Amino acid sequence: MNNGAKIGVSVLAAAVLLGGGYGAYALVSGDGGSGKDEAKKPRTVVAEPPSQELAASGATAFLDAWAKGDLFGAAKLTDDPDKAQAALQAFQDNVKPSAVHLTVGGPTTAPSPAAAKSASAPASGTASASASGSPAPTGVLESFKASVEFAESGTPWNYNGVLGVVKMSDGTAAVHWAPSVIHPRLDAGETIAVKPVYATPATVTDRKGKPLTGYPSLVGLLNQLKSAAPQDGDPTDAGSGVMISTPATSGGKATDEKLFTVKEPRAVPNLKLTIDADLQNAAEQQVTAQGGKPASLVAIEPSSGNVLAYAFSPSTGQNRAFSGGTAPGSTMKVLTTAALLEAGVTPSTGMPCPETTMVTGKAVTNDEPGAHPDYTLTDAFIHSCNTSFIEKGKDVLKPGSLPAIAKDVFGLGLVWHTGLTNFDTDIPVEGNMAGAASEFIGQGKIRTNPLGMASVAATVQSGVFRQPILIPGTAQTPAARNLSPEVLNSLRSLMVKTVQSGTASEVSPALPAGSGAKTGTAEVDTSDKANSWFTAYSGNLAVAAEVEGGGHGSAAAGPAASRVLAVGNKG
């Protein structure tokens, strides 16, 4: 890739030629002269404009020298030879034309777009006082036609240019130098060069070939796919084009404006995403049906890791489905239970559920009032008893147990490349059990999103972590290991029982038969109403949803997930 060198310029270009304030350039004439003193006599721009004949001859001489490749000679015919030669050389090196044809078009009153943007001044032919009190110089605008040829293209790049001509103290004419002399759209600080260009897919469809327009949550992804250049693709697919590049400004992005296509890129076939249009439609409906509360949902195919749908509301805000980062509440107990099972706890192991327990100086209670001293792991899981998990976790787990199993088995904490910007779940390793205890129930410093929790349900359903992806064929980061068959079967049984007789049995409409699920109610210090979370699987489909301020997991997120699961299980 060629990188265009920056072309220096005086921002006075348009002001000079259109009558604005001016500080004269001083140049040393090396042409003619009979004596030492005369050779060093400075050559400066004068206030008097050149005649039309002199301006035309000055413009013609400059354009002829440039077209012949005599960049040094062309630069000497300007009022700033050093900057002009650097810019002309940069154009030659970075655009690499095989031939340049330049023809004077005649006088004009319209400056180039870049010059007009850079200065605001009276019309050509007027004069005003300069900063030093002397009359400001004026110039004449001359149009020209450019035809630039390339070895790779049978079609020349034709454009109309504008340059200004001023009168010098030795009576000759000089082109007033500005980047817009190179091209009328080139401004100070910008570069011009030939760069690779890539074709974008004509259309982006769902996995069945259905169009994906009209889904608010997918707008960002579709725009990204249409504008992204496949830099890691086959270089032979790339074409090339003349680009004006504007550097990034504070808070902005660098931009490229294509002026001409030198070589057409190889066509790219239509791109099929992993998205399923029917599920996407259902997901969009569910997140917008939450009474104005921010919400998001993700659906994943466990057997492949393919993301079948994702939606978030408001659709003009953050993509909280992929980029959100909040505590998931009791949905995290799926991972805590897996850690307990691996530590030797069984579904029938006693896990008493006291009414309260203390964590980092705060009293933790349960959604259901009262103590349940006869609870087992099964009871604690399906009824989501916080105190049971905290007390048993303190007894048999270590501060790093939850982060370790999350990463090694469920892939949470690995770097995911989904095809869209996403926040990778963060489960910090706490320095003591007091801090870790909050994580056992999905509180504390844990941060995740529906993408992460849908993947958790998908991993339980399939028994293997498959990193979620949006573009088929994307490399998927593997987890270090799988759960043992005994632990996996116990975990699936607990999630199914939660739907049959636990907290998920309260969801309306009811989940499809055979579903496994876990509710979550995440308390947030900045809100007096908990966030609603839900993660579930049914058949070859896993879904997770969250509703900010939605309350209990079965009240808001659960119904949203259930309706999407129902659509996915119709076939």
Model pLDDT for residues 2-60, shown as the tens digit of each residue: 443 333 333 333 444 443 333 344 444 444 444 455 556 788 999 999 999 999 999 99
Q: Between 191 and 359, where is the model more confident?
A: 191
Q: What is the pLDDT of residue 119?
A: 56
Radius of gyration for the alpha carbons in the chain, expressed in angstroms and rounded: 35
Q: What is the pLDDT of residue 1?
A: 39
Q: What is the pLDDT of residue 14?
A: 40
Q: Between 238 and 165, where is the model more confident?
A: 165
Q: Please tell me the least confidently modeled range out of 66-70, 323-327, 355-359, 420-424.
A: 355-359
Phi then psi for residue 192, to 5 deg, are -130, 135
User: pLDDT tens, 88-97?
Assistant: 999 999 999 9
Q: How confident is the model at residue 227 (pLDDT cuts 50, 70, 90)?
A: low
Q: What is the pLDDT of residue 25?
A: 44
Reference 235, options 189, 197, 292; nearest CA is 197
Residue with tokens 């921002």: 11
User: pLDDT tens, 104-121?
Assistant: 999 999 888 877 766 543
Reference 122, options 198, 25, 18; nearest CA is 18
Q: Between 570 and 429, where is the model more confident?
A: 429
Q: What H or E segment, with its residue span, contains residue 530?
A: none
Question: d(Cα 122, Cα 124) in Å, to the nearest integer?
Answer: 7
Question: d(Cα 567, Cα 560) in Å, to the nearest integer?
Answer: 11
Percent of all residues in the chain with a pLDDT value above 70, rounded to a whole number: 87
Question: d(Cα 11, Cα 178) in Å, to the nearest integer?
Answer: 8
* pLDDT surpassing 70 at residue 419: yes
* pLDDT surpassing 50 at residue 505: yes
Question: d(Cα 283, Cα 273) in Å, to the nearest integer?
Answer: 16
* pLDDT surpassing 50 at residue 133: no
Question: d(Cα 113, Cα 232) in Å, to the nearest integer?
Answer: 36
- The amino acid sitting at 47 is A
Percent of all residues in the chain with a pLDDT value above 90, rounded to a whole number: 75
Q: Please tell me the least confidently modeled range out of 48-62, 186-200, 390-404, 461-475.
A: 186-200
Q: What is the pLDDT of residue 48?
A: 93
Q: What is the pLDDT of residue 525?
A: 61
Residue with tokens 């310029």: 9
Q: What is the pLDDT of residue 237?
A: 80
Q: What is the pLDDT of residue 181?
A: 97
Q: What is the pLDDT of residue 198?
A: 83
Q: Please tell me the least confidently modeled range out of 252-266, 269-283, 327-341, 397-411.
A: 252-266
Q: What is the pLDDT of residue 234?
A: 63
Q: Are 534 and 328 in contact (CB under 8 A)?
A: no
* pLDDT surpassing 80 at residue 231: no
Alpha helix stretches (DSSP H) within 320-376: 320-323, 333-342
Beta bridge partners of 534: 519, 545
Q: Between 233 and 150, where is the model more confident?
A: 150
User: pLDDT tens, 139-186?
Assistant: 899 999 999 999 989 999 999 999 999 999 999 999 999 999 999 999
Q: How confident is the model at residue 249 (pLDDT cuts 50, 70, 90)?
A: confident
3-class DSSP state for residue 199?
Answer: coil
Q: What is the mean pLDDT of residues 385-407?
A: 96
* pLDDT surpassing 80 at residue 474: yes
Q: What is the pLDDT of residue 13?
A: 38
Q: What is the pLDDT of residue 15?
A: 41
Q: How confident is the model at residue 527 (pLDDT cuts 50, 70, 90)?
A: low
Q: What is the pLDDT of residue 228?
A: 56
Q: What is the mean pLDDT of residues 215-220?
A: 96
Across the beta sheet with 173-176, the strand order is 99-107, 140-150, 153-167, 173-176
Report the predicted TM-score, pTM, of the whole model to 2 decimal places: 0.66
Question: d(Cα 366, Cα 347) in Å, to the nearest integer?
Answer: 20
Largest distance between two CA atoms of the chain: 113
Question: d(Cα 177, Cα 88) in Å, to the nearest integer?
Answer: 11
* pLDDT surpassing 80 at residue 289: yes
Question: d(Cα 366, Cα 349) in Å, to the nearest integer?
Answer: 20
Residue with tokens 């074409």: 239
Q: What is the mean pLDDT of the chain?
A: 88
Alpha carbon 426 to its chain centroid, in Å, reads 21
- Domains of the chain: residue spans and CATH: 13-28+40-188 (3.10.450), 277-568 (3.40.710.10)
